[in-house]
Amino acid sequence: MSEKYIAQPFIAGTPQAEVLGQVVAAFADNLESDAIKPLLPKYGLDNIDPEKWYPHQSWMNVLKELSETPGGSSALVAFGRKVVETAVMPPEMDSIPKMLHSLQAIHHLNLRNIPADEGYMIEEVSEKLYRVIHNTPNPRDSIYGFLWGLAQRFRAPGEPFTVRMVDSEHPGGVFEVEWGE
């Protein structure tokens, strides 16, 4: 991924960008659904069919409004964690490193008509410490929850892990995922 395209928070990468319905459905069914469900009809996202595609900007509008409400941050983290259960993912993922190297593919499987450079860049700091450079319009809180949910899902049984933001000055934020003893 080059640094030519810089995603803007809450702005779909193109006017034609679309998000897969199962991503939106995961949002509506997450742990903070009482804060979320009332926003969906306002942006034409009620009665979601998990197999259909919806305007990404409508989705970004929901996330933006949620981020501006009291408790919105925890709802966005909860959504990020929940979407791990339903997002389309490459079948070969069975470990944290494979998952991290698949983030760009995961993003492009669940969105369409977006810039090629929108997504994630991964840097291997050490064998069990990776840096994730975030370049999507999604809010940082949802990305934190998404990375946390993925690490939880793909870690070895009982293996400890940590997800943390390490650079809030970067336009999308930079996170680290570390696991093991």
- Domain ranges in the chain are 1-181
Least confident interval from 4-8, 53-57, 145-149, 152-156: 4-8
pLDDT at residue 2 greater than cutoff 50: no
pLDDT at residue 132 greater than cutoff 80: yes
- How confident is the model over 39-49, as a mean pLDDT? 90
Handedness of CA 68, 43, 74, 148 (dihedral sign): negative
pLDDT at residue 129 greater than cutoff 60: yes
pLDDT at residue 1 greater than cutoff 60: no
Vertex 164 angle, CA 162 and 166, to 5°: 140
CA–CA gap between residue 98 and residue 94 (Å, rounded): 7
For the chain, give the percent of residues with pLDDT over 90.
Answer: 66
* Adjacent-strand bridge partners of 162: 178
Residue 168 has a pLDDT of 84
* pTM, full prediction: 0.91
* More confident of the two residues 4 and 107: 107
The CATH fold assigned to 1-181 is H-NOX domain (3.90.1520)
- How confident is the model over 167-181, as a mean pLDDT? 91
Residue 181 has a pLDDT of 79
What Å distances lie between residue 36 and 12, 130, 178, CA to CA? 19, 32, 30
Residue 76 has a pLDDT of 86
pLDDT at residue 24 greater than cutoff 90: no
